[in-house]
Amino acid sequence: MKRTLLAALLVLSIGTPAQAHFQMLYTPQMAMEKGGTLDLKLVFTHPFEAGHTMNMGAPQEFFMVHKGEKTDLKDTLKKITWTSLTNSGDAYEAKVKARSMGDYVLCLVPEPYFEANEDGYIQQITKVILNNGGMPTDWDAPVGLPAEIEPLDKPYALWTGNVFRGVVLSEGKPVPGAEIEVEFLNHPPVPGKNEFQKAALATAPQDAFVTLTIKADADGEFVFGIPKAGWWGFAALGVGPLKTYKGKDNSQDAVIWVQAVDMQ
């Protein structure tokens, strides 16, 4: 992939590790015992290192699917400033009601971000699936995004040590051999604040462990064993149909987040 090659060349030129861009769509708990109002944070950043946060433009789409019904959520968005461990950047928050039982599929189509170091755009179409009350409804149904990861396991019902499986889709069709970056949210957001916590949950023994890379098989399917409780992001790179934007290359990525918990 062009993004991977350019990132590697950047590492060689400046002597610092490359970090994956990840669009976050975060709320503290994916599996809720009872409904309420979701406090959502939309941040474009580097989750393992809580590093540089990119300025988000106004999202193109932000919506929710619940029991097959689609609801536009763009009017819930509020622009905020998000603080990473190295800088601050433009981000968004939203408060969304989720009171009835079942799954809530939250989908974000962000404005493509211009990455000057790569002289091109990145658009990470992001999906998060939450559940209220334990009754499954929508988790395994694609929502028709141009670039999408269809889960084969409930993203909100994973014990630490389980595997997460998914199928990478481009315009609804599997993408054979898709390259997928995986990162752990190593510095969770501080409750009630627009910033990452400073203390890390894990230490990478070497730079290759910061952003993991896996590949889908000939049917577009992938599998990943989850070694630690918390939030994990999966980004299938450049699988969407929009290859250029404003005269520049565009990497239209499919992103999904899952949450694993420890057995007590």
- Cα–Cα distances (Å) from 114 to 55, 90, 124, 193, in that order, read 10, 14, 12, 27
Q: What is the distance between the alpha carbons of residues 30 and 28, in angstroms, rounded to a whole number?
A: 7
Whether 104 contacts 40, CB under 8 Å:
no
* pLDDT recorded at residue 215: 98
Q: Which residues of the chain have pLDDT under 50?
A: 1-2, 4-17
Q: What confidence score (pLDDT) does residue 11 get?
A: 38
**Quick one: which H or E segment has residue 225?**
strand 221-225
- pLDDT at res. 19: 58
In contact, 67 and 137? CB cutoff 8 Å? yes
CB 96 within 8 A of CB 73: yes
Give the predicted TM-score (pTM) of the model: 0.93
Residue that is written with structure tokens 């889960």 in the block: 151
Q: Which domains does the chain have, with CATH numbers?
A: 20-261 (2.60.40.10)
CB 55 within 8 A of CB 114: no
Dihedrals φ, ψ of 5, to 5°?
A: -65, -45
